[in-house]
Every structure is written in C-alpha cells, then in structure tokens.
Amino acid sequence: MEHPENNEEYKGLTVNSGVEQPAIVNPYLRRGRFARRQLSASDYVEGIVKGNVTILGQAVTLVESTSPAHQAIAQEVIERCLPYSGKSIRVGISGVPGAGKSTSIDEFGIHVLERTGGKLAVLAIDPSSEKTKGSILGDKTRMEKLSVHPDSFIRPSPSAGSLGGVARKTRETIILCEAAGFDKIFVETVGVGQSETACHSMVDFFLVIQLAGTGDELQGIKRGIMEMADGIVINKCDGDNVDACHLAARQFQNALHLFPMPESGWLPRVLCYSGFYGLGIKEVWDMIYEYVDFVKANGYFEHRRAEQAKYWMYESINEQLRNSFYNHPTIASLLPAAERSVLDGQKTSFVAAKNLLETYLRIIQA
C-alpha cells in the first residue's frame, strides 16, 4: 500500500483539521479519525493573504502539480490572489553554473532584508532540472544564511514540463508570494539557453553575474544577454583576481556602449563585487534601487510589467495549444508511427507534421 505522504492527492492539499494531533505512531491513522481536511480555494487564499507560509508552500505545490484537478484549484487561487499581488521588486539573477549565484543570493538577500526589512522570496527557473528530475536552483542548502532567516521563502525550480511550463509556474508563484506579503522576489536562472529570456520577462531588473577570465570573456557572452541585462556584475573580485575583474568590467562597459540605448532609458552599468567576502554588495543594490526609482519616475516600470503580462498571455496560449495537441489520445497514438516515418525517410518532417495537425483540427472541429 502506498504511503499517504507519497500520494499526489494527499501532498500539499491537506492541513491540520484543528484537532490536536497525537504523536503519530501509525501514519495511516491520519486517514481515520484524525484525517486531514482538503483545503478549498478560499482556504488557500485566506491563508496566503494572512502570510501563512505553510499554506503558501502548499499552494505552490498545487501550482506545480500536473493534475487537472489541482490545476483548477491553483488557477482559482492565483486569480483571487492577483488583486493582492504586484507590489514587490522583482530581480532576476542569472549566471553560468559556478558564477556564484547561490553564494551571492545569500549575501544579497541578507543585505536587502537588513536594509529595507520586509520579506524575500527566492524562486528559480531551471529547465535542466527536467533531465535529472530534481531541481538544483533555489535549493535551500545552497543558501545557508537565507535558509534559516525568518523572513525568507526559498523554493526550488519546478521540475516538470517544458521551459514554458516551468517558467509559467515560477511566474504564478511570484503572484502567490506577493499576495503573501513578500515585497522582494529574486528569480534565479542558469546562464544558458532560453531560460534567461523567460526570467527576463518576469522581472523588473535583470542582473547578469559574470566572471573575469582570460580577457576574452566578451567573445563568449551571447549578444542577447547584453541586450537583456540591466546590470552586469563581475563576481569573485577578491584576492589575485581583482585586476582581472576591473579589466573585464571596463571591457563590458565599453561593449555596452555599442548597443542602442535600451527602451528604459537606463544605460546598464557594470560593477565588481565579491559574493564570498561580502564586498561591494551595497553598491550592487544601490544600483538596483537607483534603477527602480529611475524607471518608476519615467513610467517604464509600469510599461515593462504591462508588456510582460501581454507576453505571458501569448506564452499561455502557446502552452495550452501544445498541451491540447500532444495530450489528445488520437494524436498520442499516431505520433510514434509519424516519428518512424520521418526517421525512415518515408515522409518529410513538414508533411508528417501537417498530417498530424490536420487530423487534430478535424477532431476538434467535429
């Protein structure tokens, strides 16, 4: 018999019924007299708005669930949390593995909590976790100080689904966290692939962590990243590495001048710091707060958020269309043969795709 804690229906959907629980000798007893009550959407919303992090965590589990029943409640909860959301500063933090993201986020997090009070949520977008079925980013053990801080909420990247799905869940989690009173949101992402675009499209400030290397780091950096960055920070500016970091910073700053002025009117800056030794952290956050004041004054802050909402509407349409197509039983049954015919060279990819899409359109129009 399956242990109740492993049951998808049980996980994240239950709360103490209010009856004083005895020490649990046999966990199956919970299903009997001490059975937990399933939360309604109203229970979730009420708990979240009151800032109850246990209920917030359970609601995030619901958002991440692939079960249609869970999704239905999750969407209602998100909808009802929307009026309470939006009042945070959202900062995206990107960098290749080893750039020092977790070390830096730990320092950044403690800095902003000490500087402005409030509450901080650290979320992540890590599509690579799909492969290992375990998310790496946002893992609490990577952020020693924040993980024990009473005003922080750290949530690893949702691991199931496509990048679009993973990113959507992170975005929805932002809404829930904001409704729960989190006024600072960090979204961590790996500095590879499309995950940065997804992260950029849900934050107010996109911070790119770079390392100084052999002097040719500019060749390795993708053009897209330079265009997305609101600030570039060179980490590990300590010990023997200080000169190399300052040189890299000058090169990045010069390169940034070659790009057109961003729509925000803000010329991205380049700063050096050391996450490990806690050097230059204040300056990084001075820059971010200065940016926020600047774009709030010129109207770009609201404009960017509105554009992001539009972007996510289209992303959501794309995701739902894709799911509806691939999850349709007829299409699912036809796909292996179609794939084989393409592999065997009997059909071109285009024709195979066209046949499947025509079949799908015929079914849904019937």
Q: Provide, rounded to whole angstroms, the least separation between the CB of residue 327 and ligand GDP.
A: 35
Indicate whether 98 belongs to the interface with ligand GDP (CB under 6 A): yes
Rounded Cα distance between 178 and 82, Å, is 9
Find the shortest distance in angstroms from Cβ 304 to ligand GDP: 26
Phi, psi of 163 (to 5 degrees): -55, -45
Nearest to 226 by CA among 190, 262, 194, 199: 262
Describe the strand order of the beta sheet including 205-211 as a list of residue ranges: 152-154, 120-125, 184-190, 89-95, 205-211, 231-235, 269-272
Chain centroid to Cα 231, Å, comes to: 19
CA distance 104 to 84: 29
Which of 103, 170, 195, 201 lies at the binding interface for ligand GDP (CB under 6 A)?
103
Q: Give the footprint of ligand GDP on residues 249-288 (CB under 6 A).
A: 274-276
189, 125 contact by CB (below 8 A): yes
Question: For residues 281 and 192, what is the distance between their CA atoms, to the nearest angstrom?
Answer: 24
Tell me which residue of 111, 121, 110, 115 sits closest to 182, measured CA to CA. Answer: 121
Binding ligand GDP (rule: CB under 6 A), the pick from 65, 88, 102, 128 is 102
Distance between CA atoms of residues 38 and 35, nearest Å: 9
The correct pick among 99, 123, 124, 167 for binding ligand GDP (CB under 6 A) is 99
- Contact segment (CB under 6 A) with ligand GDP among 81-89, 101-109, 249-257, 351-359 equals 101-109
> Which of 27, 51, 97, 134 is the binder for ligand GDP (CB under 6 A)?
97
- Nearer Cβ to ligand GDP (124/175): 124
Site track for ligand GDP across 45-74, x = CB under 6 A: ------------------------------
Q: Minimal distance in Å, beta carbon 109 to ligand GDP?
A: 13
The single residue among 90, 101, 184, 200 that binds ligand GDP, judged by CB under 6 A, is: 101
Instruction: Give the residues lining the site for ligand GDP (CB under 6 A).
Output: 95, 97-103, 235-236, 238, 274-276
